[in-house]
């Protein structure tokens, strides 16, 4: 089993009533709320935490791309990735991902990812995403109906650019280039590719046909996620595609402490800050044309394991700390309890790649650093046996070898 360090790079000094007074924390939040100097301090904190995780045995350091939001101040994850590529030694650098439809021309993604792979010595995971409606349709103005077509055209261009032996012309519907010949090329012969999704059958078809890793990057808890993750595996089995658990990545907030009482004391406010301060206006989340007809049908017929009232209470920060834990929004407690809960999650949902969210909301850096230390030394080593007999083609060979060499043979397969 692999572990990937992640944090939504949240602005940590939002006004207390931000979530109650702002119309949307995505697309239209007032920029005056964020002090650029504080943003810089937050970036440095996240870098320090990721560099610490590299020295504790995480398999990758994961970054995402979002725009115009206090939730994740990472409009260019490649900038942070380049710093980590030069200042870390073991973990892969996971971009999960670049929103391909937003790049014009998308050859820029091929060039920048190749730079990061070269700079890191072959440690890149190339996550590529369709992008949220908030990022794509509203922040960057891409017509929702064009999004999938643009994504797949860009993906075709990028993959060919990484492997072509000589310059070539590319004549797509949205991108036309007379000469494609990027320097440098990646170190890896085949860069591992991840595609996050929210349950669309078309995305399942892509990852199954091309043997990519599917990432369910949700913060809504295990109960809410189970129908989608289970649906993916049922669909995959019906298509005769690979059932290797390492093809599934899953996001999970972790809140570890020496005692359960200490976990509640240290993390409760930050968990509520994370959920309460992040309202997204309905009109930005559901533009016509963003979801295809098969996706809409799948969502309507999918079993619901959580009530709408419960979800709304969670989003408003109205659940107790242990209610968030019970519903799977977080996994909290002592290292022993965290280990047991993660083991159950991974085996029940067939997860080989766990994206551990080790900082949440406005959590103080020292608490997040201790979270890193406890999980890195007392949880991860005990869970390496989960799916240990399964091949992992979705994390780079170089990072697997380095993590195994430094942290023990059980750290990588």
- pTM of structure: 0.96
Tokens of 1: 């089993």
Full set of structural domains in the chain with CATH: 2-411 (3.20.20.30)
For residue range 283-299, what is the model confidence (pLDDT) as tens digits? 999 899 998 888 888 87
Would you say how long the chain is, in residues?
413
For residue range 305-351, what is the model confidence (pLDDT) as tens digits? 667 788 889 989 999 999 999 999 999 999 999 999 999 999 999 99
Beta bridge partners of 354: 3, 250
User: Confidence class of residue 413 from pLDDT cuts 50, 70 and 90?
Assistant: very low
Average pLDDT over residues 231-250: 96
Please tell me the predicted confidence (pLDDT) of residue 237. Answer: 97
Radius of gyration of the chain, Cα coordinates, nearest whole angstrom: 20
- Look at residue 113 and give its three-state secondary structure: helix
Comparing CA positions, the residue from 200, 191, 120, 201 lying closest to residue 155 is: 191
Comparing CA positions, the residue from 273, 301, 281 lying closest to residue 362 is: 273
Neighbours of 283 (CB within 10 A): 12
User: Confidence class of residue 219 from pLDDT cuts 50, 70 and 90?
Assistant: confident
340-346 CB contacts, 8 Å cutoff, 24+ apart: 342/252, 342/254, 342/379, 342/383, 343/383, 343/386, 345/222, 345/250, 345/252, 346/1, 346/245, 346/383, 346/386, 346/387
Tokens of 285: 């989340």
Cα 273 from Cα 360, distance rounded (Å): 8
Beta bridge partners of 61: 5, 93
Tokens of 102: 């937003």
Query: Cβ(140)–Cβ(102) under 8 Å?
Result: yes
Please tell me the predicted confidence (pLDDT) of residue 97. Answer: 85
Query: Cβ(206)–Cβ(212) under 8 Å?
Result: yes
Judged against a pLDDT cut of 80, whether residue 302 lies above it is answered with no
User: Which of the pair, 268 or 220, is modelled with greater confidence?
Assistant: 268
As a whole number, the mean pLDDT across the chain is 95
Judged against a pLDDT cut of 60, whether residue 411 lies above it is answered with no
Tokens of 326: 């019970």
């Amino acid at each position: 089993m692999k572990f990937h360090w992640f944090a939504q790079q949240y602005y940590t000094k939002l006004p207390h009533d931000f979530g109650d007074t702002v119309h949307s924390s995505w697309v239209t939040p007032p920029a005056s709320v964020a002090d650029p100097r504080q943003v810089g301090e937050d970036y440095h904190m996240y870098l320090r935490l990721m560099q610490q995780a590299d020295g504790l045995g995480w398999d990758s350091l994961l970054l995402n791309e979002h725009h115009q939001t206090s939730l994740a101040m990472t409009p260019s994850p490649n900038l942070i990735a380049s710093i980590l590529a030069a200042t870390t030694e073991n973990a892969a650098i996971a971009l999960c991902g670049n929103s391909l439809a937003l790049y014009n021309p998308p050859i820029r993604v091929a060039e920048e990812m190749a730079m990061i792979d070269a700079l890191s010595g072959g440690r890149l995971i190339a996550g590529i995403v369709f992008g949220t409606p908030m990022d794509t349709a509203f922040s960057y103005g891409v017509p929702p109906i064009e999004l999938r077509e643009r994504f797949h055209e860009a993906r075709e261009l990028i993959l060919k650019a990484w492997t072509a032996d000589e310059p070539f012309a590319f004549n797509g519907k949205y991108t036309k280039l007379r000469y494609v010949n990027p320097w440098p090329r990646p170190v890896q012969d085949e860069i591992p590719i991840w595609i996050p999704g929210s349950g669309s059958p078309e995305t399942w078809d892509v990852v199954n046909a091309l043997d990519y890793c599917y990432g369910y990057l949700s913060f809504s808890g295990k109960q809410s996620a189970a129908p989608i993750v289970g649906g993916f595996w049922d669909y995959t089995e019906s298509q005769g595609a690979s059932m290797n658990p390492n093809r599934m990545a899953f996001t999970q907030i972790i809140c570890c402490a020496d005692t359960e009482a200490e976990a509640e004391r240290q993390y409760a406010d930050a968990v509520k800050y994370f959920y309460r301060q992040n309202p997204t206006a309905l009109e930005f989340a559901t533009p016509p044309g963003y979801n295809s007809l098969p996706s809409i049908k799948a969502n309507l017929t999918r079993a619901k394991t959580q009530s709408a009232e419960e979800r709304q209470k969670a989003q408003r920060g109205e659940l107790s700390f242990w209610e968030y834990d019970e519903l799977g929004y977080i996994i909290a407690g002592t290292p022993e309890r965290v280990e047991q809960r993660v083991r159950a999650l991974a085996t029940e949902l067939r997860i080989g790649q766990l994206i551990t969210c080790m900082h949440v909301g406005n959590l103080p850096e020292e608490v997040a650093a201790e979270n890193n230390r406890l999980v890195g030394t007392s949880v991860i080593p005990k869970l390496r046996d989960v799916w240990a007999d399964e091949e992992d083609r979705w994390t780079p060979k170089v990072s697997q070898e380095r993590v195994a060499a430094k942290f023990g043979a059980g750290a990588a397969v």
